[in-house]
Amino acid sequence: MDFAKGEVLLVDKPLRWTSFDVVNKIRNALKKQYGKIKVGHAGTLDPLATGLLIICTGKFTKRIDEFQAQEKEYTGTILLGATTPTLDAEMAPDKIFPTEHITPELVHEAVKKFIGEIDQMPPMFSALKVGGETAYKAARAGRELELKSRKVLIKEFEITNIDLPKVSFRVVCSKGTYIRSLARDLGTALDSGGYLTSLCRTRIGDFKIADAWELQKLGEKIAEMSTN
């Protein structure tokens, strides 16, 4: 591998690591062995999400926008009957809703409403900026910025298992789609609530999680290469 010239590294992001944590880990590993090399990632994953993260090094960091624009595939679980401020399990539920009326048939019917191009409101706890201010920083300070809905494309939304109030799913979507928002909106469509309890990104374009490195093993590989 020629990290300075440019490499594309596929990494399985560990739970509770930020995307920047992964970049920093790889950058430091490379710096010890090869000196200062540019490193960046192509598409943020939330700390509570796992899965495929594309890491670019050297001159390949110029291709980050290209990789970010590609469609994504995710699997995960949604818990119906409650919402949280972050739309995932980072915070405790703030509202509880009835679920007795929800049936598997209703879930499958509701999912159909989200396939195709839809208007989606981003989470208040997100990295979006309004007037130069980051939404999640404002939200943590107790202020809500005025976010605008955006057009996103949901190519596939498949329910893979139903164990009410928990629903497992697979989604294929465009850049800019928030799966946390999809969880919230599915709950609303069912006259209830919903929040994301797990999420794994399994694919970005033609890149697949099956081909990704475990972060620790990648670090060991970088160290091993420098001694050969």
Catalytic residues: 46
Name residues whose C-beta falls within 8 Å of residue 22's C-beta, 6 or more positions apart in sequence: 11, 13, 14, 41, 53, 55, 215
Opening angle at CA 68, ends 50 and 197, nearest 5: 25
- Total Cβ atoms within 10 A of residue 76: 25
Backbone φ, ψ for residue 192 (5° rounding): -150, -150
Report d(CA 153, CA 77) in Å as an integer: 20
> How many C-alpha atoms does 145 have within 13 Å on its Cβ side?
24
- Total Cβ atoms within 10 A of residue 224: 10
Helices (H), the chain: 19-34, 64-68, 104-111, 135-140, 179-189, 215-227
Residues β-bridged to residue 76: 169, 199
